[in-house]
Amino acid sequence: MKKLTLVKIGGNIIDNEIALNDFLNLFHQIPGKKILVHGGGKIATELSKKIGLNPEMVQGRRITDAEMLKVVTMVYAGLTNKTIVAKLQGLKENAIGLTGADGNVIVAKKRPVVEIDYGYVGDITEENVNADFLKDLLDKNFLPVFSAITHDGQGQLFNTNADTVASTIAIALAEFYDVRLIFSFERKGVLKDINDENSVIRSINELNFNTFVTENIIADGMIPKITNALQAVNKGVSQVIIKNANDLLDEFAGTIVSK
CATH at 217: 3.40.1160.10
140 versus 63: the higher-pLDDT residue is: 140
Task: Give the residue from 93, 96, 51, 95 showing the smallest Cα distance to 70.
Answer: 51
pLDDT for 88 beyond 90: yes
Reported pTM: 0.93
CB 124 within 8 A of CB 75: no
Q: Which long-range contacts (CB under 8 A, 24 or more apart) does 111-115 make?
A: none
The stretch 136-160 carries a mean pLDDT of: 97
Rounded mean pLDDT, 45-51: 88
Q: Which of 160, 179, 61 is nearest to 120 (CA)?
A: 160
Query: To the nearest whole number, what is the mean pLDDT of the chain?
Result: 93
% pLDDT > 90, the chain: 78
The predicted-structure confidence for 94-136, as pLDDT tens digits, reads as follows 999 999 999 999 999 999 988 888 999 999 999 999 999 999 9
Rg of the chain on CA atoms, in Å: 17
100 and 82 Cβ atoms separated by less than 8 Å:
no
Would you tell me how many other CB atoms lie within 10 Å of the CB of residue 17? 10
- The tally of domains found in the chain comes to 1
- Domain assignment of residue 37, given as a range: 3-257
Adjacent-strand bridge partners of 150: 158
Give dist(CA 252, CA 255) in Å, integer: 9
Alpha helices in the chain (DSSP H): 17-29, 41-50, 66-72, 81-90, 131-139, 162-173, 206-214, 222-234
